[in-house]
Amino acid sequence: MCGIVGYLGNGDAYPVMIKGLKRLEYRGYDSAGVAILENGDLKLYKCKGKVADLENLVEKSSKTGGIGIGHTRWATHGVPNDVNAHPHLSGDQKLALIHNGIIENYASIKAELQSRGHIFLSDTDTEVLVHFIEDVRAKTGVPLFEAVRMALSEVHGAYAIVVIDKENPNQLIAAKKSSPLVIGIGSDDEYFIASDATPIIEYTKNVVYLEDEEVALIDRKEGLKIVTIQNQSKTPYIQALELKLEAIEKGGYDSFMLKEIHEQPRSIRDSFRGRINLQHGIIKMSGIDDHKDKWIAANRIIIVACGTSWHAGLVAEYLFEEFARIPVEVEYASEFRYRDPVIMPGDIVIAISQSGETADTLAAIELAKERGAFIFGVCNVVGSTISRATHTGAYTHAGPEIGVASTKAFTAQVTVLYQIALAVAQARQTLSQDRVTRLMAELNSVPDKVEEVLKTNAIVETIAEIYKDSRNALYLGRGYSFPVALEGALKLKEISYIHAEGYPAAEMKHGPIALIDEEMPVFVIATQGQSYEKVVSNIQEVKARKGKIIAIVTAGDKTVKELADHVIEIPKTDDSLVPIVSVIPLQLLSYHVAVMRGCNVDQPRNLAKSVTVE
């Protein structure tokens, strides 16, 4: 949520910031701004809209200066407009600050500052914070770095901030709590700072990830110094960045979403490469192998996640129950954290998150940890907060996912959860070795099957053309395909703004059937397998009410073909692997519908890629 970029060095800050903000725009894109410092002159440009709007605004102005901060916003406090856009200035106009997160006690701080004459221009918590820092500095006379630390020690909430001072063109000050911030150390006394490494990647491979409650002073002459909010000095830990530039570029596709959909044969394979050994019929995952006793003794698995990751968790519920015979509860992290959940000895919590930064999932982990649970993380972003907060875990290795709608992360999550379920089943001896070996071989063939499904693109596009103006859509599936129905509906609504609902197919007659008429497209996952006949009956029920059926069927299917208005064929696979294959045409469909409706698929309205506020 919100993108942050900062630069300090001998070059020009502006081009670095604009390029960086474009890379970060997937994190938030309702307004953007930069502040640049040169010879005691603080230039501030900000506006509602995208980074391109900001560029137009700055175009004719002077934009030189070797120190700057930039921000792309996802609004929390106050509507997206020019005034609420970051950076925000202190009352004396000397400090400029950008912020990602929420200052929870901003109202009381604001009231106190107002009573002493501070005047606020915006509705944001961020402006309150920069005035508060100014106030602490004025009252105590301490250097800015110390004032930032002191102010933050009284702040509740989540933040990643960067501050500059008009009177000190040699320093950037940054701090973080529950929102990521990474510092890049370039050659020639150059420093970069950003909310993720994507703006830094082409300048340096040497990075320092700030930890929670750390404040960093980046000084042109003295280098990098880090202290905690409690004023303990820390030695910066410099790591090598592994991200590659190609991974964050569109590679000839019109959008990141389309690129990421097409990357899935590769990303699925990467998520099991080196883990499954077909020859010996074993799965090697250190998060399982190193804690085998815990998995063998597990009484229950609680899965916490949000959105698409929660849907992957639902698939995992079926997998763990079928393969490893462990009862599973799948919880929305946002609900779990605010209940008084019962955690028992022998409970294992699996947290699933693409970004590894989702605030609700992180809070659910902390709560479960406090109550003694063993926590396993399934994350995509290496080194992310969640991957560090869990006891152990497995990365999904899908590569950076930039399109806001999650696609390749979902299939990689399911693939990793599949391997965990198989490995645990092996350890608990709840599946025969023969079945494990056959399922592993089937998993190994999934990338090729996904490749096949991607060839249905033209058929999917034709279907999208027919239904692109629908006002509503229903998605139905049973068993392993129920979470796919939910995911298909989420994909459609989030990028094309068509209202869509996912339901277990049998549940339809308990209410949603009332919606069906000749206008209603009903997408049904009707592959051959355990519930096939039942789903065929559900299709009959829809047809009897004149609904339009678009069915995803197993290649060669005849029964559903006769009933449905349109079919999309997918290769046969085991029931347990159908979600990974059947979700692909639904992703493509949402993509085409959104493009045909003129929507921005990579940056749908009101959304942001990583949700670091609760």
What one-character-per-residue DSSP string does 36-59 give? EEETTEEEEEEEES-HHHHHHHHT
CB 361 → ligand F6R: shortest distance, Å?
5
Residue 402 contacts ligand F6R per CB under 6 A: no
SS3 394: strand
CB 399 → ligand F6R: shortest distance, Å?
14
- One character per residue 100-129, x = contact with ligand F6R (rule: CB under 6 A): ------------------------------
Using alpha carbons, select from 88, 80, 106, 78 the residue that is nearest to residue 42. 88
Nearer to ligand F6R, 264 or 610 (CB): 610
Residue 476 contacts ligand F6R per CB under 6 A: no
Nearer to ligand F6R, 168 or 396 (CB): 396
Residue 387 contacts ligand F6R per CB under 6 A: no
Residue 611 contacts ligand F6R per CB under 6 A: yes
Catalytic site positions: 2, 609
Phi, psi of 311 (to 5 degrees): -65, -40
Q: Which of 200, 218, 306, 552 is the binder for ligand F6R (CB under 6 A)?
A: 306
**Side chain identity, residue 303:** I
Edge-to-edge strands, sheet with 223-228: 88-89, 95-103, 157-165, 168-177, 214-219, 223-228, 233-234
- Give, as one character, the DSSP assignment of residue 11: S
CB 448 → ligand F6R: shortest distance, Å?
25
Residue 439 token pair: 């399922």
CB 590 → ligand F6R: shortest distance, Å?
10
Nearer to ligand F6R, 406 or 538 (CB): 406
Report the distance separating Cα 156 and Cα 141, nearest Å: 23
Residue 384 contacts ligand F6R per CB under 6 A: no
- One character per residue 555-594, x = contact with ligand F6R (rule: CB under 6 A): ----------------------------------------
Q: Which stretch binds ligand F6R (CB under 6 A): 32-40, 88-96, 293-301, 302-310?
A: 302-310
Residue 406 contacts ligand F6R per CB under 6 A: yes
Nearer to ligand F6R, 168 or 355 (CB): 355
Report the distance separating Cα 247 and Cα 300, nearest Å: 37
- One character per residue 343-362, x = contact with ligand F6R (rule: CB under 6 A): ----------xxx--x--x-
- Give, as one character, the DSSP assignment of residue 211: P
Residue 390 contacts ligand F6R per CB under 6 A: no
Give, in order, the Cα–Cα distances in Å from 386 to each of 1, 351, 361, 369. 15, 8, 8, 12
Residue nearest ligand F6R (C-beta atom): 307
CB 47 → ligand F6R: shortest distance, Å?
27
CB 174 → ligand F6R: shortest distance, Å?
23
Residue 610 contacts ligand F6R per CB under 6 A: yes
Nearer to ligand F6R, 355 or 576 (CB): 355
Nearer to ligand F6R, 16 or 608 (CB): 608
Q: Are 37 and 101 in contact (CB under 8 A)?
A: no
Residue 204 contacts ligand F6R per CB under 6 A: no
Q: Which of 307, 341, 477, 579 is the binder for ligand F6R (CB under 6 A)?
A: 307
Report the distance separating Cα 156 and Cα 381, nearest Å: 26
Residue 308 contacts ligand F6R per CB under 6 A: yes
* 167 contacts: CB under 8 Å, gap ≥ 6: 40, 94
Residue 255 contacts ligand F6R per CB under 6 A: no
Residue 313 contacts ligand F6R per CB under 6 A: no
Nearer to ligand F6R, 136 or 367 (CB): 367
- Give, as one character, the DSSP assignment of residue 178: B
CB atoms inside a 10 Å sphere around CB 55: 18
Q: What angle do CA 70, 22, 403 make, to 5 degrees?
A: 130
Residue 264 contacts ligand F6R per CB under 6 A: no
Q: Are 307 and 333 in contact (CB under 8 A)?
A: no
Query: 307-319 vs 408-428: helix axis angle to the nearest 10?
Result: 30
Q: Which stretch binds ligand F6R (CB under 6 A): 1-9, 141-149, 303-311, 458-466?
A: 303-311
Give, in order, the Cα–Cα distances in Å from 114 to each of 81, 135, 141, 550. 23, 11, 21, 60
Strands 214-219 and 223-228: antiparallel
Residue 405 contacts ligand F6R per CB under 6 A: yes
Nearer to ligand F6R, 333 or 542 (CB): 333
CB 93 → ligand F6R: shortest distance, Å?
37
Q: Is-cis flag, bond preceding 87, omega within 30?
A: yes
Greatest extent of the chain over all pairs of C-alpha atoms, in Å:
80
CB-based contacts of 438-443 (< 8 A; 24+ apart in sequence): 439/574, 439/576, 439/577, 440/276, 440/278, 440/281, 440/283, 441/278, 442/573, 442/574, 442/577, 443/272, 443/276, 443/415, 443/418, 443/419, 443/577
CB 497 → ligand F6R: shortest distance, Å?
14
Residue 554 contacts ligand F6R per CB under 6 A: no
Q: Which of 255, 264, 309, 527 is the binder for ligand F6R (CB under 6 A)?
A: 309
Report the distance separating Cα 415 and Cα 266, nearest Å: 12
CB 362 → ligand F6R: shortest distance, Å?
9
Nearer to ligand F6R, 515 or 607 (CB): 607
Residue 494 contacts ligand F6R per CB under 6 A: yes
Report the distance separating Cα 166 and Cα 95, nearest Å: 6
CB 383 → ligand F6R: shortest distance, Å?
14
Residue 331 contacts ligand F6R per CB under 6 A: no
Nearer to ligand F6R, 1 or 436 (CB): 1
Report the distance separating Cα 195 and Cα 36, nearest Å: 18
Strands 347-353 and 374-379: parallel
Nearer to ligand F6R, 347 or 494 (CB): 494
Count of chain residues binding ligand F6R (CB under 6 A): 15
Interface with ligand F6R (CB under 6 A):
306-309, 353-355, 358, 361, 405-406, 490, 494, 610-611
